[in-house]
Chain A
Amino acid sequence: MANSMARSFLQVAATEEVASPLRVVQIEGLVILKIIKHCKEFSPALVTGQLLGLDVGSVLEVTNCFPFPIREEDEEIEADGANYQLEMMRCLREVNVDNNTVGWYQSTILGSYQTVELIETFTNYQENIRRCVCIIYDPSRSNQGVLALKALKLSDSFMELYRANNFTGEKLREKNLSWVDIFEEIPIKVSNSALISAFMTELESDTPVTQCDYDGLQLSTKPYMERNVEFLIECMDDLSMEQQKFQFYYRSLSRQQAQQQAWLQKRRTENMARKAAGEEPLPEEDPSNPIFKPIPEPSRLESFLVTNQIENYCNQINGVAGQNFNRLYLMKSLQDN
């Protein structure tokens, strides 16, 4: 521990100028266990917690974490939450544990985390901490026998756009940003201290694979699939709504253009007449006219997020379906035998 600390200080000093991009999130095994415990215990309620660690060049080390109390929609309690956080940090500092915030973790249901709130929280964090990550744990998916842990960050180009709050088609094209580019997933590396590793190897050698992971053989994945499809349907509805907004926008836009054309036409003929009469032509622009007021283009952010979610669900369905087939074939061959 002390060793790594010294190295990290050196590295921090060295890489101060050239901020290399974040490559990997290195999480202590203990932290992961703590996160899983917290999320699973409270499932299906969604919980969050703070991640503590160090930012070491392209590696973000997460060495500790603590849970937040379950948030309630109340001003006072929210303030309590902030107090709790500060108090907790202070206590940790007193016992000389890492107390450098590097992000937060949260649980989710079926990976439906791509929301505007998440992005807002991200921007809040990123204002203070240049590099931060959000670790998302999905307890329901973990039930399928996978470790559903993800480390996310927002892409820089997206952040820029988001700050300007400018999600028009033109800007997006300019930045060459598509829905895929909102979140960046960072690979997670689990690290343990040498002692623990050694202990683990010790354990392993004693016990060859005897303990079966029966979870992995579970065949009743129907509810999981159903819920995925349900969510997918909801997303479709959302997407249609977004699309309707857009259609409406286009319709009013074209109507406005037609009006503008008509107005211009009128103005031109009027100018011709004035010219003939030897008068000054009127300007061809009239900013005071309401038909020249630009109609605000609807933001694409929502539809991007929805698309992201859809992708997420699809991936999950694909993954689960694939696994299920495997299991079914397995079961069939077992039965045949």
Chain B
Amino acid sequence: MRTRRGMCYSESDLCSEKMRAAAAAAAAKAAAGGVVGVRRRRRVDSIPGGGEDAALLRRKRRRCPPRVGGGGGDDLFDALPDDLVLSVLCRVAGSASSPADLVNVLLTCRRFKSLGLHSMVLSKASSNALAVRAHGWCDSAHRFLKLCADAGNVEASYTLGMIRFYCLQSRGSGASLMAKAAIGSHAPALYSLAVIQFNGSGGSKNDKDLRAGVALCARAAFLGHVDAMRELGHCLQDGYGVRQNVAEGRRFLVQANARELAAVLSSPSAAAAAASLLSTRAWLAWSSPHAQPPHQQQQQQNHQQHPLRHAAGTGCPLLSDFGCNVPAPEAHPANRFMAEWFAARGGSAGPGLRLCSHVGCGRPETRKHEFRRCSVCGAVNYCSRACQALDWKLRHKAECTPVERWVDDDVDGDGDGDGGEHDGVAGFNGDVMEES
């Protein structure tokens, strides 16, 4: 890597373009001893102002830092050494709202291009800067993500891992990229790996590892990941992969809803929409969440089956959706990519392979009957309890209707004990699923 000192105080060559354009002005400035031109790597044949003056100027510039302020219309970035330009570009990458923001920088000038591709800048790229769209997927996008992942960007590792695992069907490298992100404490990566463990994705149903799934979920939950909290809550309630502890599970479910609501309210655009849907009574009820014993709350919840627009205001609403229509949380770019990818391929990942019915998820099955379906209607299926709970709240609650017992085709029975025989309790918030 070129050292900062080297770049800053190196010989200032003039770009031949600029020479042609501003030869006279440059010569005048050179005579006055001001800062002229830019630091460029290209060899230049000649510098206006004559050989001796130019040589003197070069020597002078080597010893002195650039004059403060430069000349009137000169390149402002000339005044900054490379490490400061890198600082600026890191922040551009870190706060970019789309990949175009970063690429436009690369297109600006050669210095930006070389510094923009520096590993420090790439490692700071935000998830929005790496938000590749499925229709734009190509080798160069793949290369870019790989470059960022190699630079240590955990978002890139995760995104590329998801794309490789689910879309490109390259299970091993996808999982290892996700693992790399998970080691960097990336909560979505930990959760995605948990889902893979719970389902035994990429392998047979015997490859499921429930305890590993719970461990990964727990780590993600402690980092504040809402879906992981939900998943963990359900696992604790059901004793799935972990010793059953209903109270603890309930606590996680409540926490997940609260955190989701807080996230929505703290984002300025969604806050206005959500706030208008909250009724005062809901807030009053929330202020005393422990006012009623659990079973009473449950009964009240059962009465609130209809789509809630304004809170009835009783009970602990944090077990459902807090009595208001919380808008769907924004999907991670990786999930959006998968949803677009499979939508473009006819809504399926392959023959007989379904997608998770929660639209914000986008995960496909990796083998037949991997996902579980709603035990009431059987029309939708989910990769995880968290997706099921979220979709219930956002959409499915309004349209789920019990049907006559369906005829199973090729049931993927397992030793969970549920099989396909008995009707799992379709909870008021749909939190019990059964294997299909």
Bound pair: A and B?
no
| B-binding residues in A (CB < 8 A) | none
